[in-house]
Structure 1
């Protein structure tokens, strides 16, 4: 447990630092959107591309890991559809609840995997992201627009243009060529990747909105409990049923135990969802994940 705390507490310290810096308006309020874009379009894709370009893709457990990811997401999606029918949620509210349960904080996830499992864990996480990011994005957009309908183009175009998905596909294809990363490109990508996770964690902290925690306490509570407690339990059950090896099981559980993504707030606002509820869900889950992640990974160990 001590090793787990030593691996995880610096990640949450970076998140707190990002929140503190934004409160102090340092470097400036305009810095954070630009930093987020730099990370999303350049630094983070460099990390994913380099991880997959050099990954040993012959691991016989990878197909089962992919099946576990899709099976877990599918079970939760069906449960959410049943809940929506029973409770009669409008699309704006249903979309916020869906993202609170299905989406995950990629920056925190990769930083935690890297701290706990090293390069081998990052490779598995990159493979999972290649499946989870498009699936979760499609379900999130659909849930926010279910009442007014959505075309296949509006669902698929953001997926095709997503830099994280393109980086995963590019890295995998490059891996299959067998030429490696020649001429110092591996060093260039590693330098870009090294900047990604610290900057990402600072941006996560800067996006927190504690003022949005009031007024929706029951909704925030059950959504957070499902995301931080029920989701990792489901992931463990699926991993056990598919007889995944220990490393693959641990990475799967960790990603299902992450708080939701701060970018869910932006998508909710763009598509006319309940952005105030979404901001509260993001903030509460991120704050409580500091304890829940340590507890869940400790029990898993």
Structure 2
């Protein structure tokens, strides 16, 4: 019941963000400031306190990387097979990328930190890094390849490696591997900031969700939801069950890869020739479905 209550609270915060946007309280400027607070302060603080006392070799293992990439590319491959014959290429590319592109930073890591132990959160931080460095260029390649839109993957990768969350992950793993002592008051303060990551991120995601239905194609949206919220975590479970990983790594990988579609896919679709209304609908549907699927997933791995 505790997990269900937490997930229902997640849903409340999401709709609160949407409601605050609709009544004008969370306008573009305030939403951007709230997003900056989560992106540049709360999430980096959460990543650092999760990793600063752990050696990189204990977290970043070949099995974890191989399993994560197998699930990511395996889901992308199934999505391509399922949607490759769509005549409407603007929705074809969106349907493919939204079947595998997960919301790890604004939902996955904060939710795991609020639900599981520090060991699981530390591994989840590494999963965030591995997947982010892979799914972003993959998504850009898929959308530009299908839509013929102009985009520099090199520029996007440069922006990605400047991501404050990923930079903090490298810093935390470096500090943990070297064995540098971090003052207690600093970690306490960072832990308090990190605890704000989930509510801030949920308000930002909620303020970004749109409910307008595009013309038809609910069948394609249903396929996206099924792949993202059922197939991908099931594949993760199957893959990591065969690998030599500990309980913390298994839990972190399966739950992180069971997260809904990232809001950033809407941005990519809007910039790279995709259908933004269709993308927005899928983000909303997968996020809504995640309350039920994550409850089952967390209860099962727990």
TM-score normalised by structure 1 residue count: 0.89
Residue by residue, what CA displacement relative to the aligned partner does 1:184-230 show, whole Å, maximum 9, x if unpaired?
43233223222222111111111121123662311111111110011
| Contact 1:94 1:143 survives alignment (8 Å) | no
Listed as ranges, the gaps of 5+ residues in structure 2 are: none
Tell me how far apart the structure 2 counterparts of residues 28 and 60 of structure 1 sit (CA, whole Å): 40
Q: Mark the CA change 1:267 to 1:41 in structure 2 (over 3 Å): closer, same or farther.
A: farther
1:103 match? 101
Q: Which SS does the other structure have where 1:156 is aligned?
A: helix
TM-fit CA distance, 1:103: 1.6
2:195 match? 194
Give the stretch that moved more between structures: 106-115 or 116-125: 106-115
Give the stretch that moved more between structures: 178-187 or 106-115: 178-187
Give the stretch that moved more between structures: 23-32 or 260-269: 23-32
Tell me how far apart the structure 2 counterparts of residues 269 and 87 of structure 1 sit (CA, whole Å): 19
Mapping 1:190-269, distance limit 5 Å: 190-212=191-213, 215-269=216-270
Residue by residue, what CA displacement relative to the aligned partner does 1:46-102 show, whole Å, maximum 9, x if unpaired?
221332222354538843222211111122233344445444663x33431233112
TM-score normalised by structure 2 residue count: 0.88
Q: Mark the CA change 1:80 to 1:238 in structure 2 (over 3 Å): closer, same or farther.
A: same
Q: Mark the CA change 1:116 to 1:188 in structure 2 (over 3 Å): closer, same or farther.
A: closer
Mapping 1:23-172, distance limit 5 Å: 23-26=22-25, 28-59=27-58, 62-83=61-82, 85-87=84-86, 90=89, 92-106=90-104, 107-147=106-146, 148=148, 151-172=152-173
Q: Mark the CA change 1:228 to 1:213 in structure 2 (over 3 Å): closer, same or farther.
A: farther
Tell me how far apart the structure 2 counterparts of residues 179 and 84 of structure 1 sit (CA, whole Å): 50
User: How many residues matched?
Assistant: 299
Listed as ranges, the gaps of 5+ residues in structure 1 are: none
| Contact 2:60 2:126 survives alignment (8 Å) | no
Give the stretch that moved more between structures: 49-58 or 95-104: 49-58
Give the stretch that moved more between structures: 55-64 or 286-295: 55-64
Q: Mark the CA change 1:216 to 1:236 in structure 2 (over 3 Å): closer, same or farther.
A: same
Tell me how far apart the structure 1 counterparts of residues 116 and 228 of structure 2 sit (CA, whole Å): 22
| Contact 2:212 2:277 survives alignment (8 Å) | no
Residue by residue, what CA displacement relative to the aligned partner does 1:20-40 show, whole Å, maximum 9, x if unpaired?
222222254531122112322
